[in-house]
């Protein structure tokens, strides 16, 4: 067995591996990153790498990571995001997982990482064993629950009293300032300065200033929502419906909300929701405006919100299917006081990149 860094020549093999290893919850889905498996990973941080286990010319497992310079209670620390863990059925009967983790951990230590970040779907016991049991990696501790809402905009439409505008480049610097102010309340996050916002616009396909909706009060931007159609490079494909999702599939079949198994969901993702303090009602109005206008071109609106975040109020009462993602943190040296502090704070992750 060979453990090595993946190259563009492995693209098709990695795409096939994703199809073989769906995410299991009430809805069995896999994220199809074709045509370029590496694209989303490149947006998750700096110097992203994908490590693979190859046996007899076949890739049987993979894990990716990247680096971030993040803010942690007033200090700048070097963090690593670790994700994309996939092992084939045959690979689970080998040492592939152990050897991939050992390789990733070695690289992170050599690069002076202070904090590790990992996400997995609630109920994914295989990922939980990797992250929370301390196998090679330090123990990853759950610090937050991120709710992934799949909102059905067919119902639950709400009136809004606000005038909504589409942003233009004339609004860029004011928007960047609002981003910086809004995201300053979160931990384990890169600073949202002007240069970072420019980089997001420059590097994100099909994502520009035209994807931002805004509300002004007294001529000042007080809230903004950005949205992203990723169907060109990322599709959420349903493998199997189970439990509640199966009931919804048949109940909503006349409206074509959920596709037949094997086909992608027709969805659009909300990427950023930012607002001035005291203007949460405006963000509710902005979400309502967006949902009112997105149907029927898009059948589902997807958004990820920390369950402790006041923003979650903007989605109460809307028809939706929820999926829980656990946000985990490990430190180079065990620091339970820091973990406890993080659990009482807000963390944020751009869930459109996963």
Q: Which residues of the chain does CATH 3.40.630.30 include?
A: 2-144, 151-326
The average confidence (pLDDT) of the chain is 93
| Residue range 320-332: mean pLDDT, rounded | 91
Q: Assign 3-class secondary structure to the chain.
A: CEEEECCHHHHHHHHHHHHHCCECCCEEEEEECCCCCHHHHHHCCEEEEEEEEEECCEEEEEEEEEEEEEEECCEEEEEEEEEEEEECCHHHHCCHHHHHHHHHHHHHHHCCCCEEEEEEECCCHHHHHHHHCCCCCCCCEEEEEEEEEEECCCCCCCCCCCCEEECCHHHHHHHHHHHHHHHCCCECECCCCHHHHHHHHHHCCCCCHHHEEEEEECCEEEEEEEEECCCCCCEEEEEEECHHHHHHHHHCHHHCCCCCCCCECCEEEEEEEEECCCCHHHHHHHHHHHHHHHCCCCCEEEEEEECCCHHHHHHCCCCEEEEEEEEEEEECCCCHHHHHHHHCCCECCCHHHC
Q: Residue 24: is its pLDDT beyond 70?
A: no
pLDDT digits (tens, 9 = 90+) for 37-94: 999 999 999 999 999 999 999 999 999 999 999 999 999 999 999 999 999 988 888 9
Instruction: Report whether CATH 3.40.630.30 matches the domain 151-326.
Output: yes
pLDDT value for 157: 67
pLDDT value for 40: 96
| Residue range 6-31: mean pLDDT, rounded | 87
Distance CA 64, CA 158 (A): 41
pLDDT value for 26: 63
Distance CA 169, CA 264 (A): 33
Residues 227/211, Cβ–Cβ less than 8 Å? yes
Please, which pLDDT band fits residue 243 given cuts at 50, 70 and 90? confident
pLDDT value for 127: 72
pLDDT value for 134: 63
Using a cut of 0.85, tell me whether the model's pTM lies above it.
yes
Distance CA 344, CA 327 (A): 13
What CATH number does domain 2-144 carry, 3.50.50.60, 3.40.630.30, 3.40.720.10, 3.90.1150.10? 3.40.630.30
| Residue range 98-127: mean pLDDT, rounded | 89
85, two tokens: 């863990």
Please, which pLDDT band fits residue 212 given cuts at 50, 70 and 90? very high
């Amino acid at each position: 067995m060979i453990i090595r860094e993946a190259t563009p020549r492995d693209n098709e093999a990695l795409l096939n591996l994703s199809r073989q290893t769906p995410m299991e919850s009430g809805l069995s889905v896999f994220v199809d990153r074709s045509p370029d498996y590496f694209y989303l990973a490149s947006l998750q941080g700096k110097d992203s790498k994908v490590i693979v286990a190859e046996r007899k010319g076949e890739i049987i497992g993979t894990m990716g990571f990247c680096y971030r310079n993040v803010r942690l209670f007033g200090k700048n620390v070097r963090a690593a995001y670790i994700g994309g863990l996939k092992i084939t059925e045959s690979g689970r009967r080998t040492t592939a997982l152990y050897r991939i983790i050992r390789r990733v951990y070695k690289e992170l230590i050599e690069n002076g990482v202070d904090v590790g970040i990992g996400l997995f779907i609630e109920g994914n016991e295989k990922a939980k064993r990797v992250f929370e049991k301390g196998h090679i990696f330090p123990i990853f501790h759950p610090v937050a629950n991120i709710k992934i809402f799949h909102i059905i905009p067919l119902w639950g439409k709400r009136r809004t009293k606000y005038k909504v505008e589409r942003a233009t480049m004339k609004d860029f610097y004011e928007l960047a300032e609002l981003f910086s102010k809004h995201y300053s309340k979160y931990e384990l996050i890169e600073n949202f300065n002007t240069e970072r916002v420019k980089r997001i616009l420059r590097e994100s396909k099909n994502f520009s200033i035209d994807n931002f909706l805004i509300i002004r009060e007294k001529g000042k931007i007080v809230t903004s929502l950005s949205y992203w159609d990723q169907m060109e490079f990322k599709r959420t494909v349903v493998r199997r419906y189970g439990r509640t999702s199966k009931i919804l599939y048949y109940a909503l079949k006349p409206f074509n909300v959920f596709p037949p198994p094997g086909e992608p969901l027709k969805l659009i993702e909300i990427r950023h929701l930012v607002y001035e303090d005291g203007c949460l009602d405006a963000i509710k109005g902005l979400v309502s405006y967006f949902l009112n206008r997105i149907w029927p071109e898009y059948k589902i609106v997807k958004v990820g919100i920390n369950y402790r975040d006041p923003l979650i109020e903007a989605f109460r009462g809307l028809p939706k299917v929820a999926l829980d993602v656990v946000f985990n943190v490990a430190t180079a040296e065990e620091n339970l006081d820091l973990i406890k502090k993080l659990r009482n704070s807000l963390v944020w992750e751009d869930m459109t990149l996963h």
